A and B are shown apart, each in its own frame.
Chain A
C-alpha cells in the first residue's frame, strides 16, 4: 500500500515537472513559431486566422524578402562582419585567458581586473568618442568600424570565460606536456585548446549571436546602405513594407536562421561549456 502511494506521488511529481517544462518551452517557442508560420502563409490568411498552421507552406514571402527586401545582401554583410569579429574575439580571448590562467606575472591581477572592467562599460557611454576615433582613423563607414569595436566589446566576457575554463584544467597536463618537450605555444595549441572546445563553442555561440543582432553600432558607424547588416536591413524593410505581415515575418525568419544553425552546430559543446566546473 505504502509502496503504491509512494509510486503514485512520484508519478504526479514527474507529471508536474514535465508540465512546467512544457509550459516554459511553449512560452519560449511560441513567438518564434508564429513568426515562422506567418512567413509561410499568404498575408490574407494570417490576418483572418493568425494562429493557423502553414499548410501547404507558401515560399513566396521568403523569396520576396530575399529579392525585394535585399535580404541576400544584408545577410552577406552580416556574415562579413560576424565571422572576423567572432574569430578575433575567440583567438584573442583564448590566448589572453590562457595567459591569465596559467602564468603568474607582475600585474596579472590588475590586467585581469582591467579586462573585466570592460563588462561594466555600456556601449552608449563610449559611442560618440568612438565615432570620432573611427573618423580620425579613416575607418568610419567601413566594415572595420563595426568589426574592431565588436571585438573590443566581446573581449571582456571572452577572456573571463576562457580564463575560468583554463583555470579549471589540471595543471599536471601542462607539466606533462612540458616533460614531453612542448613549447608554451605547442602546449596551448596541442593540449589546452582542444580541451577547451566547450568554452570555445560557448564563446562562438554567444559572440555570433551578439554580433549578428548588433543594431546600434552599425547604425552609427555604417551609414552606407550597401553595407547594412541584417538588423539594420530589417528595420528599413519594416519601414517600407509595414502592411505586409507575411513579408516582414519572412525577413525576421531569414534573420534568425543563421543564429539557429550556429547554435545547432555547437549545441552539445555549448551546454558542456555552460556547465563546466559545476561538478568535479
Chain B
C-alpha cells in the first residue's frame, strides 16, 4: 500500500479553472472520501489521480513516486467506476482477469488471484456469467473484484454506489467498510452523499468549486466546520443559518433577528466581536429541542415523521427557514407558534464571508 500526495494540483479546460490548486496528503492505508456538490471537481480530481485526466500543473505522487505524467496502468491504481464499466462481452472471470492478462501475469497467478477475489466478494458462482445476467449489486462486486485482483497500491472509487437502490446502497456501504478493514488498502472514494462520507471515511475532504474547503476526520468536520459551506454540506438536515448582529457589551453576545431580537450569549467564543457587526448563527437541527421557555420561535408548516425522529419545518418570526430534529412524536402540524431551546455552546458563528468565528 502507498501514500498519495497532491501538491498544488490544478486543472483547466481552456480558460475555465476546474481544480484550483489542491494540496492533499493521504496516508498509506487511509480511507479518504472526497465529498462535495455536483460540479465541485471531485470526480475530476479522482480522474487526475487515476491518470485519466491530464494535470495542468502541480505534482501527484503515489508511494513517493511522481506519477503526474504516468499512464493510468503505470500508477499502481485500480478504479471502480460509477457505471461499473464492465466489459459486456466478457464473463465475470474474464472481466476480472482482463487487466492481468494484458499485463502478462502468468495464468496460475491469475487463477489464484481470481479465486481469492471471488471468495472475498462471494462471486464464486457467478464467474461464468456475463454482466447482463447480474443484478446491480453483483455487477458492483465484480467491478470491485476487478480492482482487487490487480493488487493495486491505491483503490479509487468514483461514486460507486450511486446506481444502486437505497437498500443495496446501505448493504454495499457496509461491504466496502469491511473490505477496507480486510485489505487495509489506501482507498480514495468520491461521493456527493454525506452519509457515505461520514460512515466510510477515515478522513473527509470537502470540495467546493475546485478548492478544498476542509480536510479532517468525519466527526471533526461535523463538530468543527471551518466555514458555512462545510457546516451546511455536512450534516442532515442541513444546518440552520440565522442572521444576527453582535450586541453591545462584552462582544460575545449576538442578537438573532426576529420580530423581537433574541439575545444569545456565546461564552465559548475565544475572541470578542465588534458590536454591530453582522454575523450568522448556525444551529444544527439535532441541537434544537421543544421547550416552553425556549429562545427561538418557530411557526411550523410541515412535519416529516421518520419513526424514531421527526423533522419540524417552519420559519422564524424574522422569516428565516428553520428545521428542528425532534424525538417527540407530533401527529399534526401545530397551529400555534412553538418555542425551541438550544445549548449556546453548540451554536456556530460565521462572518459575512462565511468563515467561522471562534
Residues of chain A whose beta carbon lies under 8 Å from any beta carbon of chain B: 170, 172-173, 175-182, 186, 190-191, 194-195
Which of B97-105, B173-181, B185-193, B332-340 lines the interface with chain A?
A: B97-105
Which of B70-78, B216-224, B308-316 lines the interface with chain A?
A: B70-78
Residue in B73, B77, B83 whose CB lies within 8 Å of A170: B83
Q: Across the two chains, which residue of chain B brings its CB closest to A186?
A: B102
- A-B contact list, 15 entries, CB within 8 Å: A172-B83, A173-B87, A175-B79, A176-B79, A176-B146, A179-B52, A179-B72, A179-B99, A180-B98, A180-B102, A180-B103, A181-B99, A182-B73, A191-B87, A195-B88
B85 beta carbon closer than 8 Å to chain A: yes
B45 beta carbon closer than 8 Å to chain A: no
Q: Which of B134-175 contact A (CB under 8 A)?
A: 146, 150
User: Which label, helix, strand, loop or mixed, suits the secondary structure of the A interface?
Assistant: helix
User: Which label, helix, strand, loop or mixed, suits the secondary structure of the B interface?
Assistant: loop
Q: Across the two chains, which residue of chain B brings its CB closest to A173?
A: B85
Q: Shortest beta-carbon distance, B101 to chain A, in Å?
A: 9
B81 beta carbon closer than 8 Å to chain A: yes
- Docked Cα-Cα span, A179 to B89, in Å, equals 18
A181 and B81 within 8 A (CB):
no
Q: Which of B64-96 contact A (CB under 8 A)?
A: 71-73, 77-79, 81-83, 85-89
Q: Shortest beta-carbon distance, B161 to chain A, in Å?
A: 16
Q: Across the two chains, which residue of chain B brings its CB closest to A174?
A: B85
- Docked Cα-Cα span, A191 to B94, in Å, equals 12
A178 and B87 within 8 A (CB):
no
Q: Which of B210-233 contact A (CB under 8 A)?
A: none
Q: Across the two chains, which residue of chain B brings its CB closest to A175?
A: B52
- Docked Cα-Cα span, A253 to B304, in Å, equals 75
- Docked Cα-Cα span, A170 to B73, in Å, equals 20
Known: A176-B85, A180-B98. 8 other contacts (CB 8 A): A175-B72, A176-B87, A176-B146, A177-B87, A178-B73, A179-B99, A182-B102, A190-B98
B50 and A179 within 8 A (CB):
yes
Q: Shortest beta-carbon distance, B241 to chain A, in Å?
A: 38
- Docked Cα-Cα span, A172 to B72, in Å, equals 13
B83 and A180 within 8 A (CB):
no
Residue in A175, A176, A181, A191 whose CB lies within 8 Å of B103: A181
Residues of A within 8 A of B88 (CB): 195
Q: Shortest beta-carbon distance, B356 to chain A, in Å?
A: 38
Q: Shortest beta-carbon distance, A80 to chain B, in Å?
A: 33
Q: Across the two chains, which residue of chain A brings its CB closest to B156?
A: A179
A172 and B102 within 8 A (CB):
no
A172 and B103 within 8 A (CB):
no
Residues of A within 8 A of B99 (CB): 179-181
Interface size on B, as a range, is 20 to 34
A195-B88, A195-B89 known; A175-B73 Cβ under 8 A: no
Closest 8 CB pairs of A and B: A180-B99, A181-B73, A172-B85, A176-B85, A194-B89, A179-B72, A181-B102, A181-B103
Residues of A within 8 A of B73 (CB): 178-182
A179 and B77 within 8 A (CB):
yes
Q: Across the two chains, which residue of chain A brings its CB closest to B87?
A: A191
A175 and B85 within 8 A (CB):
yes
Residues of A within 8 A of B86 (CB): 176
Q: Shortest beta-carbon distance, A273 to chain B, in Å?
A: 15
B81 and A176 within 8 A (CB):
yes
Residues of A within 8 A of B146 (CB): 176, 180
Residues of A within 8 A of B150 (CB): 180
- Docked Cα-Cα span, A178 to B83, in Å, equals 16
Residues of B within 8 A of A180 (CB): 73, 98-99, 102-103, 146, 150
- Docked Cα-Cα span, A48 to B146, in Å, equals 71
Residue in B52, B82, B89, B98 whose CB lies within 8 Å of A178: B52
B102 and A170 within 8 A (CB):
no
Q: Shortest beta-carbon distance, B113 to chain A, in Å?
A: 14
Q: Which of B254-298 contact A (CB under 8 A)?
A: none
A172 and B81 within 8 A (CB):
yes
Residues of A within 8 A of B51 (CB): 178
Residues of B within 8 A of A179 (CB): 50, 52, 72-73, 77-79, 99
- Docked Cα-Cα span, A176 to B145, in Å, equals 13
Q: Across the two chains, which residue of chain A brings its CB closest to B74?
A: A181
B85 and A170 within 8 A (CB):
yes
Q: Shortest beta-carbon distance, B144 to chain A, in Å?
A: 13
Q: Shortest beta-carbon distance, B325 to chain A, in Å?
A: 38
- Docked Cα-Cα span, A181 to B150, in Å, equals 11
- Docked Cα-Cα span, A194 to B87, in Å, equals 10
Residues of B within 8 A of A170 (CB): 83, 85
Q: Shortest beta-carbon distance, A139 to chain B, in Å?
A: 40
Residues of A within 8 A of B103 (CB): 180-181
Residues of A within 8 A of B81 (CB): 172, 175-176
